């Protein structure tokens, strides 16, 4: 048996590998003082009610009053959640996190009157203020994000009624989670070593990547047998959820659920349509990649359960964290000296919590707020995958850094639609750097396939999900009952269209829709695909060496939420309402697929 590695406790980790949170609050006492001050500030907020209509000066006073409470509250919240994540078993930190969550809830309910009261101001009067009152200038876009949705906001009484129905309207989605995460029981299957293991979602993710075909086949068949048994219940929870989206969209005077979901960020539906059209045109590239998989794996038949097993061995590249920092700096050098200076600042000022310890939250993220550094949580391993994670999270942190240093507080964050673009651009730059730097065939094959797999999982697969999601909302809108058979039949067709003839469309895959939590997110997944493709195109622009293109990219990082996401990206050089940026991303995919094909042939 392999030796079981013991994780250090939080106290045993050497301080230079932990993040330094003392610049946020020097000690517990400082936190408590801030907490008390914010708490009484929050209590004052309802007193601002009723003043908005008195004119631009009153409006300004209220906005600033509200933001001056949100800002320090957010700081308390971020501090407590970082503390909590560094050791989730620490009872003191658990309490901090619980207290700040309650503080945020109290804050939310103490300012709930603001939007309805703002929208109750006569349309023309408010428009006049926004155009002419100099004191409101810094807040014009901030207020527009509320007033632009005016036609979709109901009377305060109607909004209150809908809010009260919220729990009931979410019941289908909640039932899905309970069934999927808690109640479903899976049988035992064999793992790689021939041991019997109880199947779970987590174990399935491991076994489906097994290098032994019989192991992944069994995991696949057993998992889907369970889902098949509950397909009518899953169809019912999905249908209930779709009906909620369609109902709320109609109630708020949107033409459909898609327009409602995308309208929040002012993303035109043409962005969604451009994605689906372009991906469909380029499906032959996915078919080619899948066929290559079959060839490399030397399988007589390629099944749906063969799509996740690695087709290249692990590269002989291993990095200590110190070496990885050097590599990251070299890979990101194309972003210019200013960008690199801030990356160095992140390394040298302890913004990163590097290694795993007992109780530390798993995975990786970048987090912070306007008045803190953009911290990074990692669970470092000495491999190439961790280097990719490091530059990814650094992309988020630099985005936050540039935004908070170039925008006022009210525009000091950014939406999900643009967030993953900054991180994925960095990964793409690392891919380019590795391919240029390491001629070793094993490394080249690994890096190329890492890219191709990422593209497959993000651009192709998420668009497949987006297409399905849109189909079910439209069908329900047209009065078609979403039965399990109807859903499975359509899903199977869609799956065949995406993966093509090289893969056997196993009947089990028809039920895949039943286990995808993202179908409950309300038009969320398309953003993974658009973000990945935009990042590809932006990375190519940066690598062209054109100063202006690089400056346009940095300008996007500096924009925060000072404008709507589509406009921010347009200024960076990518028009996401058109298909050009997608065509460019597919051209890159094709080029790397060519390279990988050639390499695979030469390696036998």
Nearer to Zn ion, 65 or 454 (CB): 454
Give the shortest CB-106-to-Zn ion separation in angstroms.
Answer: 30
- Burial of residue 102 (number of CB atoms within 10 Å: 0-12, 13-18, 19+): exposed
Q: Cβ of residue 195: shortest distance to Zn ion, in angstroms?
A: 35
Which region, judged by CB under 5 A, interacts with Zn ion, from 235-243, 261-269, 420-428, 466-474?
420-428
What x/- string results for residues 376 through 415 when contact with Zn ion is judged by CB under 5 A?
----------------------------------------
Binding segment for Zn ion among 130-138, 315-323, 336-344, 417-425 (CB under 5 A)?
417-425
DSSP structural state of residue 182:
I
Nearer to Zn ion, 262 or 535 (CB): 535
Of the candidate spans 26-34, 120-128, 204-212, 419-427, the one that interacts with Zn ion by CB under 5 A turns out to be 419-427
Q: Residue 397 or 423: which CB sits closer to Zn ion?
A: 423
Site string for Zn ion, 183-222 (x = CB under 5 A): ----------------------------------------
337-346, Cβ contacts within 8 angstroms, sequence gap of 24 or more: 338/554, 339/398, 339/554, 342/398, 342/401, 342/402, 343/394, 343/398, 346/373, 346/374, 346/376, 346/394, 346/397, 346/398
Which of 100, 403 has the CB closer to Zn ion? 403
Active site residue 345: no
DSSP 457: I
DSSP one-letter string for 291-345:
HHHHHHHT-SSEEGGGSSS-SSPPPS----HHHHHHHHHHHTGGG-HHHHHHHHH
3-class SS of residue 271:
helix
Residue 189, strand partner residues:
197
Q: Give the Cα separation of 317 and 362 in Å (integer).
A: 23
Q: Applying CB under 5 A, does 423 fall inside the site for Zn ion?
A: yes
Q: Which span sits near Zn ion by CB under 5 A: 59-67, 286-294, 418-426, 465-473?
A: 418-426
Q: Which is nearer to Zn ion, 307 or 585 (CB)?
A: 585
- The pair of structure tokens assigned to 542 is 């940066």
For the bound state, the minimum distance from the C-beta of residue 532 to Zn ion, rounded and expressed in Å, comes to 11
CB of 395 to Zn ion, least distance (A): 8
Q: Supply 295's token pair.
A: 């060839």
Calpha distance 93→368 (Å, rounded): 17
Q: Which residues of 241-254 are buried (b: 16+ CB within 10 A; e: fewer)?
A: bbbbbbebbebbeb
A 10 A CB-CB count for 274 gives 20
- Residue 530 binding Zn ion, by CB under 5 A: no
Closer to Zn ion by CB, 390 or 443: give it.
Answer: 390
Least distance in angstroms from the C-beta of 537 to Zn ion: 18
> Nearest to residue 344, comparing CAs of 326, 331, 357, 356?
326
* Binding flag, residue 514, Zn ion (CB under 5 A): no
Give min distance, CB of 403 to Zn ion, in A.
15
- Tokens linked to 357: 């310890």
Helix (H, G, I), strand (E, B) or coil at 189: strand
The CA distance from 536 to 541, in Å, is 9
Provide, rounded to whole angstroms, the least separation between the CB of residue 209 and Zn ion. 21
Cα gap 387→323, rounded to integer Å:
10
DSSP structure class, residue 504: E
Count of residues binding Zn ion (CB under 5 A)?
A: 1
Report DSSP state, residue 377: E
Distance CA 413, CA 181 (A): 32
Could you give the 3-state DSSP secondary structure of residue 376? strand
Q: Which phi and psi angles does 438 have, rounded to 5°? A: -115, 100
Q: Are 384 and 34 in contact (CB under 8 A)?
A: no
Of the residues 393, 427, 508, 512, only one is catalytic, namely: 393
Of the ranges 143-151, 193-201, 284-292, 416-424, which one interacts with Zn ion (CB under 5 A)? Answer: 416-424
**Pattern 472-511, Zn ion, x by CB under 5 A:** ----------------------------------------
Nearest CA among 115, 131, 127 for reference residue 62? 115
Part in contact with Zn ion (CB under 5 A); list of ranges 421-429, 449-457, 491-499, 510-518: 421-429
Q: How far is the CB of 421 from Zn ion (least distance, A)?
A: 10
Binding mask 535-554 for Zn ion (x = CB under 5 A): --------------------
We find the least distance from the C-beta atom of residue 364 to Zn ion, in angstroms, to be: 8
| Closer by beta carbon to Zn ion, 138 or else 457 | 457
Instruction: Pick the closer one to Zn ion by CB: 423 or 463.
Output: 423
Residue with the closest Cβ to Zn ion?
423
Contact partners, residue 241, CB within 8 Å, separation at least 6 = 172, 173, 176, 519, 520
Q: Which is nearer to Zn ion, 147 or 423 (CB)?
A: 423
Q: Which stretch binds Zn ion (CB under 5 A): 50-58, 410-418, 423-431, 553-561?
A: 423-431
What residues are annotated to the active site? 393
Q: What does the binding site for Zn ion look like in residue numbers (CB under 5 A)?
A: 423
């Amino acid at each position: 048996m392999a030796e079981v590695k013991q994780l250090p406790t939080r106290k045993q980790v050497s301080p230079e590998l932990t993040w330094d949170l003392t610049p946020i609050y020097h000690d517990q006492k400082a936190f408590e003082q801030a907490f008390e001050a914010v708490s009484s500030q929050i209590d004052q907020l309802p007193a601002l009610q009723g003043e908005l209509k008195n004119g631009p000066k009153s409006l300004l006073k209220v906005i600033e009053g509200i933001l001056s409470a949100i800002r320090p509250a957010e700081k308390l919240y971020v501090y407590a959640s970082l503390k909590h994540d560094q050791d989730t078993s620490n009872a003191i930190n658990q309490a901090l996190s619980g207290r700040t969550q309650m503080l945020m809830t109290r804050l939310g309910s103490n300012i709930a009157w603001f939007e309805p009261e703002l929208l109750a101001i006569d349309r023309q009067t408010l428009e006049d203020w926004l155009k002419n009152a100099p004191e409101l200038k810094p807040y014009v876009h901030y207020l527009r994000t509320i007033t632009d949705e005016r036609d979709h906001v109901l009377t305060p009484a109607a909004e209150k009624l809908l809010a009260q129905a919220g729990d009931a309207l979410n019941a289908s989605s909640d039932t899905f989670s309970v069934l999927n995460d808690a109640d479903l029981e899976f049988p035992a299957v064999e793992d790689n070593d021939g041991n019997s293991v109880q199947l779970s979602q987590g174990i399935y993710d491991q076994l489906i990547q097994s290098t032994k075909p019989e192991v992944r086949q069994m995991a696949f068949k057993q998992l889907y047998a369970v889902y098949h048994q509950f397909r009518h219940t899953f169809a019912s929870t999905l249908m209930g959820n779709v009906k909620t989206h369609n109902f709320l969209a109609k109630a708020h005077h949107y033409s459909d659920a898609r327009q409602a979901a995308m309208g929040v960020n002012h993303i035109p539906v043409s962005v969604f349509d451009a994605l689906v059209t372009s991906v469909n045109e380029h499906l032959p590239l996915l078919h080619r990649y899948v066929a290559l998989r079959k060839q490399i794996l030397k399988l007589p038949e390629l099944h749906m359960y063969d799509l996740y097993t690695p087709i290249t061995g692990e590269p002989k590249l291993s990095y200590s964290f110190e070496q990885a920092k050097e590599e990251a700096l070299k890979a990101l050098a194309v972003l210019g000296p200013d960008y690199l200076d801030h990356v160095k600042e992140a390394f040298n000022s302890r913004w990163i919590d590097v290694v795993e310890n007992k109780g530390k939250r798993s995975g990786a993220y970048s987090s912070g707020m306007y008045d803190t550094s953009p911290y990074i949580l990692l669970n470092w391993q000495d491999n190439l995958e961790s280097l990719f994670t490091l530059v990814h999270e650094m992309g988020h942190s630099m985005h936050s850094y540039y935004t908070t240093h170039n925008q006022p507080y009210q525009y000091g964050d950014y939406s999900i639609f643009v967030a993953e673009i900054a991180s994925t651009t960095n990964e793409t730059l690392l891919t380019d750097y590795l391919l240029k730097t390491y001629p070793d065939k094993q490394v080249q094959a690994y890096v190329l396939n890492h890219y191709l797999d990422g593209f497959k999982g993000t651009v192709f697969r998420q668009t497949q999900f987006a297409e399905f999601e849109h189909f079910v909302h439209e069908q329900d809108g047209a009065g078609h009952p979403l039965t399990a058979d109807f859903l499975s039949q359509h899903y199977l067709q869609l799956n065949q269209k995406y993966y093509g003839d090289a893969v056997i469309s196993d009947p089990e895959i028809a039920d895949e829709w039943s286990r995808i939590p993202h179908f409950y997110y309300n038009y969320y997944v398309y953003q993974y695909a658009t973000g990945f493709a935009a990042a590809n195109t932006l990375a190519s622009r940066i690598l062209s060496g054109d100063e202006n293109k690089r400056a346009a990219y940095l300008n996007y990082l500096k924009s925060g939420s000072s404008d709507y996401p589509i406009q921010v990206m347009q200024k960076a050089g990518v028009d996401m309402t058109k298909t050009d940026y997608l065509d460019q991303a597919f051209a890159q995919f094709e080029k790397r697929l060519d390279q990988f094909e050639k390499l695979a042939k030469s390696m036998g």
